[in-house]
Structure 1
């Protein structure tokens, strides 16, 4: 828990991919988070196929959570076509789903959240040129970045955190097949983080990526996809100390191995 020096202890995980038949799978996770953290972030792909039954299964476990929880949706959460119902069910279990808005923990930590989108990174970022369908694809990424900018603009907390599902930098996608990396995120998401001085960014989606990276201006970025954390450290979530202007992993320590597949 917090040590009284102005830090906030935050747990974070993504890509739970909860299925209907997994009653009880996340109860132990919730129990440990209750004892180790002051708040929890869930960075997308909360369900496996975006169904009402999957959302109910997850909500059942998280009803036991005693710390504030904010989440964003991931691509899997849209598969069932019942997003509004998924958000409602999770909300009834005190999981606050963000989509271009924000949550505040303990009056100190503001979390701006969006799903994000794909499109590639840096000089290889897809541009809005040519066929209308390409322009529409790029516009979706632009819209998500604008929503993130609006959410950050609403925050006046001393600590500002960004949560997305798609990656805002290429570095945390290293380890994924090169051919799919443009579909795992876009650099368009990193600009608002830097403009508004975020302490850290958390995302998922890149199951085979790298856990730690930084934006071009040095903001720490953490890939907290559960499959990656379990592969590297046999952990289901990661814990961080956040303070005004920074963020440090508590455990596990700095990543030593970059895995590929």
Structure 2
């Protein structure tokens, strides 16, 4: 299925009968000194889209103070917002507070959960690292290596459970870490294993989706595909801004409006 990919839109605020516009961005890295810097950015995204997707690293150090300030910036958004957390949002060990603050501000923060917005089913999870394909790290050797791999497996299982809950004909997946190697190309090869894992791709094969969005790879590649042909979009804000300096630092994807399906 072809997805019409846009960057700006002057279409009316009402949702059309046959499509839903998604504005996707990750890696905001909002700090306590960022106040006022993203309000117009979010307002423009809300004008251009029907749903805003935030793909992790919403804060820089994962503090409640950063989350509170980001929530104030998001007050300008008058469209539904779905989000997943990223590794930076875990930095201070206060990720539960970050999630609560954003949830109280009306953001649907997904962590192995699913929701439906404007007929589009959305499954979200942070994901984890571990590498891709035959180079993926295996659970062998030291206990700490097994723990590392177990975390990747747990995140993949959370994604699978979220996808299994969806009952719409159009479904998308949101992550922070990449499920494929294709969209981390451009980063130093030495850190590929820390940018995502193909274990996250397995649930996307068992439960096919219309599109996948992730961040994390600031110097990666804009687009790739899973082995079954699903488009994967790297929407890390630094990558979008560097690649398209004359356009807003989010990506607009239009997908057909979904219908409920009985499974």
TM-score > 0.5, shorter chain as reference: yes
Contact residue 199 and residue 243 of structure 1 kept, 8 A? no
Instruction: Verify the 8 A CA contact 1:199 1:244 in the aligned structure 2.
Output: no
Q: How many residues align?
A: 244
Structure 2 unaligned spans of 5+: 1-10, 259-263
Secondary structure of the structure 2 residue equivalent to 1:209:
coil
- Aligned partner of 1:68 in structure 2 is 80
Give 2:202's match in structure 1, choosing from 191, 196, 217.
Answer: 191
Could you state the TM-score of these two structures normalised by the residue count of structure 2?
Answer: 0.90
Q: 1:40: which partner in 2?
A: 52
Task: Report the counterpart of residue 239 of structure 1 in structure 2.
Answer: 252
Tell me the CA shift for residue 34 of structure 1. Answer: 1.8
Post-superposition Cα deviations, 1:190-209, rounded to whole Å, max 9, x if no partner, equal 11112111000000000000
> Deviation string for 1:102-159 (max 9, x for gaps)?
12111x1011000000000011111111111111111100000000000001000121
Equivalent pair of 2:46/2:79 in contact (CA under 8 Å): yes
**Match of residue 159 from structure 1:** 170
1:5 to partner: Cα distance? 5.3
Q: Is the 8 A contact 1:44 1:73 kept in 2?
A: yes
Q: 1:214 aligns with which of 225, 231, 234?
A: 225
Separation (CA, whole Å) in 1 of partners of 2:43 and 2:153: 38
Q: 8 Å contact 1:69–1:95 — kept in the other structure? A: yes
Within a 5 Å distance, the mapping from 1:68-217 to structure 2 comes to 68-106=80-118, 108-217=119-228
Alpha-carbon RMSD across the aligned residues, in angstroms, is 1.3
Gaps of 5+ in 1: 246-261
Contact 2:23 2:51 in 1 (8 A): yes
| 8 Å contact from structure 1 (residues 69, 94) kept in 2 | yes
Comparing 21-30 with 216-225, greater Cα deviation is found at 21-30
Matches of 2:75 and 2:96, distance apart in 1: 19
Runs of 4+ in 1 over 3 A off after TM superposition: 1-5
**Secondary structure at the counterpart of residue 201 of structure 1:** strand
Residue 254 of structure 1: aligned partner: none
Query: Relative contact order (C-alpha < 8 Å, sep 6+): which is higher?
Result: 2
Contact 2:27-2:58 at 8 Å conserved across structures: yes
SS of aligned partner of 1:64: coil
- The 5 A counterparts of 1:2-81 are 4=16, 6-81=18-93
